Amino acid sequence: MKVALESPVGPVHVLTEERLEEGIRESRLNGRGRIIIPIQRSEQAPVQRLVNVLQPGSYVRPHYHPRPQAVELICILRGRVNFVVFDETGRIEKSVTLQTGSAPTIMDIEPMVWHTIIALESDSVILEIKGGPYDRVKDKVFADWAPEEGSPEADSFLRSMASESCSG
């Protein structure tokens, strides 16, 4: 299943409305309910910059980033999302709604913090900036207390987590 659009080329990249609309279309068609629009030219870039387009129902398995340079900044560009922080057992410690047009719009998270993001509106768009380079094997540690993406349990876990995080 497609995870990302093609990376841009050249020394200057402008995220155009057309490119953003392409990402929105792809996220709607994608079985994952989300798509990445890379901003960096390569996964080897020392700073990873990407736009993530999410649809409600997209399950981002709770995880943390173990590498010390993996400080992550998330900024909402369109829509509304819940950013959820967990303790090591999966208990929700904090839930912050990021939405365009009102504060807060930015979330900054240190490495080794369990977290996920839940789309609350269609076509929600976030900008993510994180220390790189990207390493598929070492980038994330997934929570063993959360079901795998695509598993039969993932949908009910997402609904439960969304309900709890939005009410607390």
Instruction: Give residue 168's pLDDT.
Output: 47
pLDDT tens digits for range 69-115: 999 999 999 999 999 999 999 999 999 999 999 889 999 999 999 99
Residue 81 neighbours by CB distance under 10 Å: 25
Q: Are 157 and 60 in contact (CB under 8 A)?
A: no
> Where do the domains of the chain lie?
58-167
pLDDT tens digits for range 118-167: 999 999 999 999 999 998 888 999 999 999 999 999 999 999 988 888 75
List helix spans (H) across the chain: 17-29, 154-167
Tell me the C-alpha distance between 95 and 68, whole Å.
23
Longest pairwise C-alpha distance within the chain: 45
pLDDT tens digits for range 25-70: 999 999 999 999 999 999 999 999 999 999 999 999 999 999 999 9
Is the preceding peptide bond at 8 cis, omega within 30 degrees of 0?
Answer: no
Tell me the C-alpha distance between 19 and 36, whole Å.
11
Say whether domain 58-167 belongs to CATH 1.10.150.120.
no
pLDDT reading at 117 higher than 70: yes
Phi-psi domain of 10 (left: phi exceeds 0; alpha: psi -120 through 50; beta: other): left
Q: Which residue has the tokens 């998270």?
A: 109
